[in-house]
Structure 1
Amino acid sequence: MGIQVQLAVDLTCQSCVDDVTQVLKGVQGVERLDVSLADKQVVVEGTARPSELLSAIKESGRAAVVRGTGSSVGGNIGAAVCIFEESRTLNSKTRGLARFVQVNEDMCFVDITVSGIPEGKHGVAIHECGDLSNVPESCGRHWNPDGVDHGDGTKGHRGDMGNLVVKDGWGDLAFETNRFKVWEIIGRSVVVGAAADDLGRANNARSKTDGGSGPGILAGVIARSAGLFENDKQVCACSGNTIWEEQRLTSEGHRL
């Protein structure tokens, strides 16, 4: 079964439409394409993964956000969002956003963007609790319903998501996973660590627990969000940022 992917894309002219159309036609698995300049929206049908579509658009020099996914025969499966808040170890300029979209019964698309934290690699994981009262301790341990040692995005804790890389002030991570579903993680938290995650490969107890990623410096609660065609806003009501500014987090000193 094919999937539909709805993307908000920062289109400003017909040339943008033509360029994005050409770029996406080159992505394997794209079967049908609808690009709307008026709505600043792209809808793709086929078998291409959302991360592939997002990467292709970004490489063309345009900001884009995956708004939702669903089956080609209709119906939304699930979506969630996590707005990061700083922990007590950093100032109020630290911020970020994670989106989770269920592509089908077996695959979840994850898109994470952060800004205002130190350069380099930072471990990211889903934690047991959605309690931000005393980050990171109040978030609990890595979500690990299988009771196994820490690992990477393919083995280990089901909440393990590997590393994102921060460079020139911002960093992002986008991938698909079959290790969890949106409805399993709503109400839990996502924590970004102070250091790189060794993916459970070091020979010490800490590596088997959290990969040595250190204390959490960003955290947020995972909450249900709008799915395919359920949200057409282009401006964030709480900050006044456009969704592309929100996604890239380029406006220093402003919270989401």
Structure 2
Amino acid sequence: MTEFMVDMKCEGCVSAVKSKLETLEGVKSVEVDLSNQVVRILGSSPVVAMENALEQTGRKARLIGQGVPEDFLVSAAVAEFKGPDIFGVVRFAQTHMELARIEANISGLPPGKHGWSINEFGDLTKGPVSTGKVYNPPIQGSESEPLGDLGTLEVDEKGEAYYSGIKKMLRVVDLIGRSIVLYASEDKSDPGLAAAVIARSAGVGENYKKLCTCDGTTIWEAKPDIVTSKV
């Protein structure tokens, strides 16, 4: 389940939003709460596709929650890269106990292929160098590749990368306080270009009429000029 705060004023808005979202591949159902201006989408369509569809209806939208909170202690987490050169957001959502969905929007990277990983620690005092090794908890029957190895990010000529995928055996609750590291090389042989701490984020139903924040920082946003709080 993914939730957006959407600027809606009437039943016509509701109809337009539902009609647009229901055309997306992977969307199973759409529920609209006009009184709270909240849209709930059940399915596997990427966040960026849902956000684009909402904005194509001419309405501002902000992602406010994701996951299955009735089943998990922590169902969503996020890491934000705040520059000065590399910006972006990496989102984690628990879909069930043995599977997590990962989505990332990153800009400012050199074009080409870059390794990225979840590292053991959230210590950024020395940047990526102080984040430790790639996260690799003992898991029965796991493969030789560390669980925190996220593979390769493909960066286009504009320095932008988008990723949407799943990771087996990854538990979002175990990632809080660790870090995401981006590397200059595909094989992660360099110290790393940038790192961001993974923080708990709002799950479904936790964030109506307010911005999703952690320690005072707005975290569920990819764009700065969309729906503001109406508390």
Normalising TM by the smaller chain, what interval? Answer: 0.7 to 0.9
Q: Is the 8 A contact 1:146 1:157 kept in 2?
A: no
Q: Does residue 179 of the first structure (1) align with residue 172 of the second (2)? A: no
Cα deviation, residue 115, structure 1: 2.3
Gaps in structure 1 of 5+ consecutive residues: 87-91, 148-153, 198-206, 251-256
Structure whose residues are more often helix by fraction: 1
Q: Is the 8 A contact 1:6 1:229 kept in 2?
A: no
Q: Distance between the aligned counterparts of 1:106 and 1:162, measured in 2? A: 19
The residue that corresponds to 1:220 in the other structure is: 196
The residue that corresponds to 1:65 in the other structure is: 63
The residue that corresponds to 1:22 in the other structure is: 19
Q: Distance between the aligned counterparts of 1:115 and 1:159, measured in 2? A: 21
Q: Distance between the aligned counterparts of 1:10 and 1:60, measured in 2? A: 12
1:98-137 per-position Cα deviation (integer Å, ceiling 9, x unaligned): 2222122222122222222323332210011211111222
**TM-score computed with the length of structure 2 as normaliser:** 0.72
Give the 3-state SS of the residue equivalent to 1:57 in structure 2. Answer: helix
Q: Distance between the aligned counterparts of 1:65 and 1:25, measured in 2? A: 18
Counterpart of 2:2 (choices 6, 22, 27) is 6
Q: Does residue 159 of the first structure (1) align with residue 135 of the second (2)? A: no
Gaps in structure 2 of 5+ consecutive residues: 56-60, 226-231
Q: Does residue 247 of the first structure (1) align with residue 222 of the second (2)? A: yes
Distance 1:118 1:11, change over 3 A: farther
**TM-score computed with the length of structure 1 as normaliser:** 0.66
Corresponding residue pairs, total: 213
Distance 1:166 1:230, change over 3 A: same
Q: Distance between the aligned counterparts of 2:192 and 2:111, measured in 1? A: 15
Structure whose residues are more often strand by fraction: 2
Q: Distance between the aligned counterparts of 2:127 and 2:85, measured in 1? A: 16
The residue that corresponds to 1:202 in the other structure is: none
Q: Is the 8 A contact 2:202 2:212 kept in 1?
A: no
The residue that corresponds to 2:123 in the other structure is: 131
Give the 3-state SS of the residue equivalent to 2:130 in structure 1. Answer: helix
1:133-175 per-position Cα deviation (integer Å, ceiling 9, x unaligned): 112221112112359xxxxxx8711001122333334322222
